[in-house]
Amino acid sequence: MNIAGSVALVTGANRGIGRSFVEELLNRGAERVYAAARRPETVSVSDPRVTPLFLDLLNEESIADAAAVAQDVTLLVNNAGITTGADLLSGNLDDIRRELETHLFGNLRVIRSFAPALAAHGGGAIVNILSVLSWVATPQGSGSYSVSKAAEWNMTNGVRIELAGQGTLVQGVHLGAADTDMMAGSDAPKIDPLDVARASLDGVQNNLLEVLVDEPSRFVKAALSGDPSQLYGPAPTR
């Protein structure tokens, strides 16, 4: 699909990758961008084509209200997310549930709410911002996030199949780490959030189902077909 002339809705649009999507969509000639966030008053992109909108992935009413307002959407970018830092064995189970509620059920609610609008406008496209942690677990602090992103990844695959009949492209975007507020405490190498938006929108324009933005995502994807020790090291000795 063409970005020029499109009507997009971006969740988590007030900062980081979401804000970069808003800026890049405008640069590519989008007709309108709904900048959705839990605090829409913090959306700082100043352009008459931008409409701030309240949307909270854990608030079903807010999702339904946003879908009622943005009935002209042709491109949906599911970017909003959280991280609690909960480990699977020692973390609070409520935190683990909250990550699943956000990344899996919250994003699924958004897709279900906006799918009719996309169908009405010829199919359009959905972008789900995933993670290299959809495919791999790392020590300490990412167990809950990895599980929720793995669930979101296969949800992406599932809705892709179910929406194919209405002509909707469903794209999954994987990356290691971007320079965002969420990753501020990490010393891992980080890419510019704008690189994520550009790679994804290039993929939308070229009808790509999956976009691997950086080297960590490409390495882990390739390693999945090999021995797990490539990712986790040798099995413990007894």
Our answer to whether residue 221 is catalytic in this structure is no
Single out the catalytic residue among 145, 190, 221, 232. 145
Distance CA 11, CA 4 (A): 20
Single out the catalytic residue among 34, 149, 221, 232. 149
Distance CA 177, CA 56 (A): 23
Our answer to whether residue 145 is catalytic in this structure is yes
The residues annotated as belonging to the active site are 145, 149
